[in-house]
């Protein structure tokens, strides 16, 4: 692992690091905020999964999460959204290829050799960070925005017992029934729709649910609202009687202005679960 940068930040350290990845077959970069408490011992962790076109840097510099995490003594991890490099397959569209890994392990060419973001985010990167930094693996929570909200919700439901809480901003809630999902799943996973089900938060809610609190925010002026399908997840939550808070925020769109407006409430929500 190589240190790219480390900066003092709200009494702690905002670092950026790179490492070779077996999962993606190349170098990967991630951001990690460590609060001051990490100097004394392992601290709780909040994972932040980013959306389409983003790298590790977008949320790290735009969400404003560090100030709130520092107040709560929580670390923040910002993974990248896809493999990178000259030899990695790509597409001219912004919603496929680099920056659009969708947190799945691709099985189809030309994506399969590198696009294994599920394994990277749920197995490889956690092992690296917990082996290398003062982080508490018994106190983890997860959040994300848009495609990252989809990733956070599916990880929380597919990995029971790992995350104490889950939240999302503008999540892609029902990708198997949306153009943000059908296109990518067909490319990465093939035409067998049964293989898509494990990456659909609405279907996972019906099948598994989540053993903990959930918080979901979506803006009423979100320009991609029809692609997100929050109403489908809301219906599944109601059917399952899942513990959850779903909020439609009047006038907010899909941007980081929306995320930064409510990130403090999300960090506080996770802190309550992480310190319970």
List residues bridging with 8 in a β-sheet: 13
Active site residue 254: yes
Active site residue 136: no
150, 254, 266, 270: which one is catalytic? Answer: 254
Determine whether 191 is exposed, middle or buried from the number of CB atoms within 10 Å of its CB (0-12, 13-18, 19+): exposed
**262 DSSP 8-state letter:** H
68, 178, 222, 270: which one is catalytic? Answer: 222
CB 56 within 8 A of CB 80: yes
Rounded distance between C-alpha atoms, residue 200 and residue 216, angstroms: 15
Active site residue 68: no
CB 267 within 8 A of CB 74: yes
CB 102 within 8 A of CB 146: no
Closest CA to 69 of 55, 50, 48: 48
21, 50, 146, 170: which one is catalytic? Answer: 146
CB 169 within 8 A of CB 259: yes
Rg, Å, the chain Cα set: 17
Structure tokens at 194: 């049964």
Catalytic residues, by residue number, are 146, 222, 254
């Amino acid at each position: 692992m190589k240190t790219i940068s480390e900066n003092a930040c709200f009494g702690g350290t905002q670092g950026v690091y790179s490492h070779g990845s077996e999962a993606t077959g190349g170098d990967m970069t991630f951001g990690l905020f460590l609060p001051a408490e990490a100097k004394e011992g392992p601290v709780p962790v909040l994972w932040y999964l980013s959306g389409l076109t983003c790298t590790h840097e977008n949320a790290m510099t735009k969400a404003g999460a560090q100030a709130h995490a520092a107040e709560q003594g929580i670390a923040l991890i910002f993974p990248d959204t896809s493999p990178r490099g000259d030899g990695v397959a790509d597409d001219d569209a912004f919603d496929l290829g680099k920056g659009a890994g969708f947190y799945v392990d691709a099985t189809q060419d030309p994506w399969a050799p590198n696009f294994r973001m599920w394994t990277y985010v749920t197995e490889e990167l956690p092992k690296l960070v917990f082996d290398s930094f003062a982080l508490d693996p018994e106190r983890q929570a997860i959040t994300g925005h848009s495609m990252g909200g989809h990733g956070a919700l599916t990880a929380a439901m597919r990995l029971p017992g790992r995350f104490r809480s889950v939240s999302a901003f503008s999540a892609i809630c029902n990708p198997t029934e949306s153009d943000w999902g059908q296109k990518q799943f067909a490319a990465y996973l093939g035409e067998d729709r049964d293989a898509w089900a494990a990456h659909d938060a609405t279907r996972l809610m019906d099948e598994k649910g989540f053993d903990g609190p959930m918080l979901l925010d979506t803006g009423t002026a979100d320009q991609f609202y029809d692609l997100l399908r929050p109403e489908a997840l809301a219906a599944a939550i109601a059917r399952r009687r899942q513990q959850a808070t779903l909020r439609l925020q009047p006038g907010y769109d899909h941007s980081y202005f929306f995320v930064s407006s409510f990130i403090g409430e999300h960090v506080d929500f996770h802190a309550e679960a992480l310190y319970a």
